[in-house]
Structure 1
Amino acid sequence: MRKLINVFFVAAGLLLTANVANAQQKLGHLNSDEIYASMPEAKNAQTTLETLAKTKQAEIDKMIAEYQTKAAAAEAKQKTLSEANKDVVIKELQAAQTDLQDLEKRIGEARTKANTDVTAKQGELFPPINQKLASAMGAVAKEKGLAYVFDISVAQGFNNLVYFDGGEDITAAVKAKLGISNTPATKPAATPVKKN
């Protein structure tokens, strides 16, 4: 019996130790949307991408305008078709149709290349920013002794936080680590959180 009581106390002690260890794990959360909106590097990268996309779209728009002009000219030429000039006008219309098809193909290729260029530029600009943010988040989490940090941003779809009852918001500390002002760039949306 005495052995059974000793085993019971040892087991109870282990459970208590495990519960105390679990209770000491600290949780934190941040809003990466707010941090990204405040990071100068992210703002510059977004501006660069928007400028590139606008430049590519302007080139495509110019080609579309050329297509529309040539299509209108072909339509006007078709209206001049008569029995007297039938052979000449038909040859001109066929040449115009070939030219329009070629231009349409070039517009499609330009759109594909523009998408590829913008995606490549995005792949070039954002990984260093993401790494810098990840390093800052890790550093702040270690400084604060946090075991877990959850991202509650809208861009993450609130999928990284299932239950939240308190915790420590380290958004401001990560922004400070990055040398960014702690005033919010935009007011973050309220986080719908399920409490059990």
Structure 2
Amino acid sequence: MRKLINVFFVAAGLLLTANVASAQQKLGHINSEEIYATFPEALTAQNALQTFAKGKQAEIDKMIAEYQLKAKAAQEKEQKGQKLQNEMSEANKEATLKELNVISKELQDAGVELQTIQKKVEDARTKASTDVQTKQVELFTPVNTKVATGMSAVAKEKGLAYVFDIANGQGANNLVYFDGGEDITAAVKTKLGIAATAAPVTKAPATTPVKKN
């Protein structure tokens, strides 16, 4: 859920391009975890998501219970066949072999059925994961929009140029709002000897954070 929240915050910040009234750029911070933990609409959405997820899990648990029941029955049938084989004598050999053949066929059918149920469980888990993610977006999109709108409104009222999210789940230093400020991208490019007309690469190379002493 935190990644989803982060996306909405950043998107909201990028859309705000008004210049800061004050020449001195002011910084602010917000704790999104505290807001979401106390915002009634967020709590309602979270409860709805949990209920939805529990319903999906209940469907999977039902299939697992069916699998376990049939697996136990197959195991008992296999044990019965082993016992018949151990107790087989010349006197009951013909009847025992017939019964063993029946058991063998039933075990083969049970094996196919168990594989089918196992595949259903795997498919259900995959679908449940997708469904829960879709439901999460559906439930939290309006919540995230309201929080982002409220955040940007307060930032404007206070004349803040940048707002950072100090929640641990966001990395404690995530930029969630900016309004104005000096863009030094071009200057850094010049410093690094990068031509202004240089086209961006398809995938940026991995970077190693610089450790501060």
TM-score normalized by structure 2?
0.63
Q: Of 87, 110, 113, which aligns to 1:96? A: 110
Q: Report the equivalent of 1:107.
A: 121
Alignment RMSD:
1.7
For 1:66, the equivalent position in structure 2 comes to 66
Q: Does 1:28 align with 2:28?
A: yes
Question: Which residue matches 1:193?
Answer: none
Q: CA deviation at 1:160?
A: 2.5
Task: Classify the secondary structure of the residue corresponding to 1:80.
Answer: helix
Equivalence for 1:55: 55
Matches within 5 A, 1:154-193: 154-160=168-174
5+ residue gaps, structure 2, are: 1-21, 86-95, 176-212
1:159 Cα deviation after fit? 3.0
Give the Cα separation in 1 of the matches to 2:47 and 2:70: 35
**Distance in 2 between the 1:25 and 1:159 partners?**
17
Are 2:28 and 2:162, in contact at CA under 8 Å, matched by a contact in 1? yes
Q: Does 1:118 align with 2:132?
A: yes
Counterpart AA for 2:112 = T
Please name the residue that 2:78 is paired with: 78
Contact 2:164 2:173 in 1 (8 A): no
**C-alpha distance in 2 between matches for 1:103 and 1:39:** 42
Report the TM-score when normalising by structure 1: 0.68
Counterpart for residue 151 of structure 2 = 137
3-state DSSP of counterpart to 2:168: coil
- SS of 1:29's equivalent in the other structure is strand
1:52-89 CA-partner distances (Å, limit 9, x unpaired):
11111111111111111100100100111135111101
Structure 1 residue ranges (4+ consecutive) displaced by more than 3 angstroms after TM superposition: none
Q: What is the DSSP-based 3-state SS (H/G/I as helix, E as strand, rest coil) of the residue aligned with 1:155?
A: helix
Counterpart residue identity of residue 103, structure 1 = I
